[in-house]
């Protein structure tokens, strides 16, 4: 049998992977959820036709949204995670014994349940006693919070569909309010390679910049995302991602990572000119 899944990266570019078996396929209230078992990438979670993660390379995404802020502020105790229904971000956070409390807000319970059943590699820390899972809209949840979190990670889908509200100006303003003085906001920031994404990146960067004095972007290679070149945002009121990097303290955590290291931490904030041009155009 020759079964292939195709993701359209643009109207004119397809990324196609060979599938062993379609393990799950159902519509939730919010989105279409598929899980495939594949030859090259292991199990793959697909939402509304877009690859969210693969077992082969999810470590890249999940290390880069957690280790970067933890190395800038190793004192982080209270974390809010928005989205992240697959559990990968939670798994990485739970490796830090110093973290005391994690609130996770996922709008779509069905994603959590599907990942618990089919993606044990990422959905392995939902029983951690430090975690409280809220099934609700992150946009509304964060409105009620003030000076409460040291770290907010917005591990959302793209800025259309159920994740849309997590890219609004109101949302970033509320994140700023919900964060402590030393707090950090990390968000997935899309990519600038394909023209069809550029406006979203600009809009997102402009909105975060208006809510935070420090707003920077870092890059990561995620081969199963469109173009393989993915950006994350680092925003805070007081902490700079490189000047305030505490490399030795992070190393003392003794956490073995497969992508992140503290040299790469410094390197990933050095962006290509064509990306800088897009971001500077926001100012």
* Candidate residues 96, 171, 193, 250; the one interacting with its own copies per rule CB under 8 A: 193
- Confirm or reject binding of residue 10 to its own copies (CB under 8 A): yes
Instruction: Decide whether 105 or 222 has the Cβ nearer to its own copies.
Output: 222
Residue 155 a catalytic site member: yes
Site string for its own copies, 145-184 (x = CB under 8 A): ----------------------------------------
* Candidate residues 154, 208, 271, 278; the one interacting with its own copies per rule CB under 8 A: 271
In the block, residue with structure tokens 């044990």: 120
Q: By CB under 8 A, what part of segment 80-119 binds its own copies?
A: none
Q: By CB under 8 A, what part of segment 227-246 binds its own copies?
A: 227-229
- Confirm or reject binding of residue 264 to its own copies (CB under 8 A): yes
Cα–Cα distance between 106 and 137 in angstroms, integer?
A: 7
Instruction: Decide whether 59 or 172 has the Cβ nearer to its own copies.
Output: 59
Q: Which residues pair with 155 in a beta bridge?
A: 83
Residue 158 marked as a ligand binder: yes
Cα–Cα distance between 249 and 247 in angstroms, integer?
A: 6
**241 with 68: CB under 8 angstroms?**
yes
Closest CA to 168 of 134, 197, 138, 146: 138
**47 with 35: CB under 8 angstroms?**
no
Instruction: Decide whether 57 or 86 has the Cβ nearer to its own copies.
Output: 57
Instruction: Decide whether 141 or 218 has the Cβ nearer to its own copies.
Output: 218
User: Least distance from C-beta 17 to its own copies, angstroms?
Assistant: 5
Three-state helix/strand/coil letters over 261-276: CHHHHHHCCCCCHHHH
* Candidate residues 66, 73, 180, 257; the one interacting with its own copies per rule CB under 8 A: 257
Instruction: Decide whether 81 or 268 has the Cβ nearer to its own copies.
Output: 268
Q: By CB under 8 A, what part of segment 28-67 binds its own copies?
A: 38-40, 57, 60
Residue 100 marked as a ligand binder: no
Which member of 155, 195, 248, 283 is catalytic?
155
Residue 138 marked as a ligand binder: yes
Cα–Cα distance between 235 and 237 in angstroms, integer?
A: 7
Could you list the residues that contact its own copies (CB under 8 A)? 4, 6, 10-18, 38-40, 57, 60, 193-194, 219, 221, 223, 227-229, 257-261, 263-274, 276
- Please list the active-site residues: 155
Annotated binding site, which residues?
31, 62, 86, 106, 137-138, 155-158, 162
């Amino acid at each position: 049998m020759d079964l292939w899944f195709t993701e359209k990266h643009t109207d004119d570019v397809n990324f196609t992977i060979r599938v062993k078996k379609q393990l799950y396929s159902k519509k939730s209230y919010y989105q279409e959820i598929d899980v495939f078992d594949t030859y090259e990438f292991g199990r793959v979670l697909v939402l509304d036709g877009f690859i969210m993660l693969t077992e082969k390379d999810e470590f890249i995404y999940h290390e880069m949204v957690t280790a970067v802020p933890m190395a800038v502020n190793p004192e982080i105790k209270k974390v809010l995670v928005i989205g992240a229904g697959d559990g990968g971000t939670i798994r990485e956070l739970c490796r830090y014994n110093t973290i005391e409390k994690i609130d996770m807000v996922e709008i779509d319970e069905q994603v959590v349940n599907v990942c618990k059943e089919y993606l044990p590699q990422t959905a392995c820390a939902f029983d951690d006693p430090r975690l409280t899972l809220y099934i609700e809209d992150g946009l509304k949840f964060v409105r009620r919070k003030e000076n409460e979190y040291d770290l907010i990670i917005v591990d959302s889908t793209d800025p259309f569909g159920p994740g849309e509200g997590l890219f609004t100006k109101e949302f970033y303003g509320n994140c700023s309010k919900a964060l402590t003085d030393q707090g950090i906001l990390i968000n997935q920031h899309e990519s600038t390679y394909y023209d069809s994404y550029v406006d979203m990146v600009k809009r997102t960067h402009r909105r975060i910049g208006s809510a935070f004095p420090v707003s920077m972007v870092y890059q990561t290679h995620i081969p199963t995302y469109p173009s393989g070149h993915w950006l994350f945002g680092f925003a805070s009121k007081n902490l700079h991602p490189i000047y305030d990097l505490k490399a030795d303290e992070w190393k003392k955590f003794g956490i073995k990572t497969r992508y992140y290291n503290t040299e790469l931490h410094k390197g990933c904030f050095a962006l290509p000119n064509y990306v800088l041009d897009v971001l500077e155009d926001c100012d």
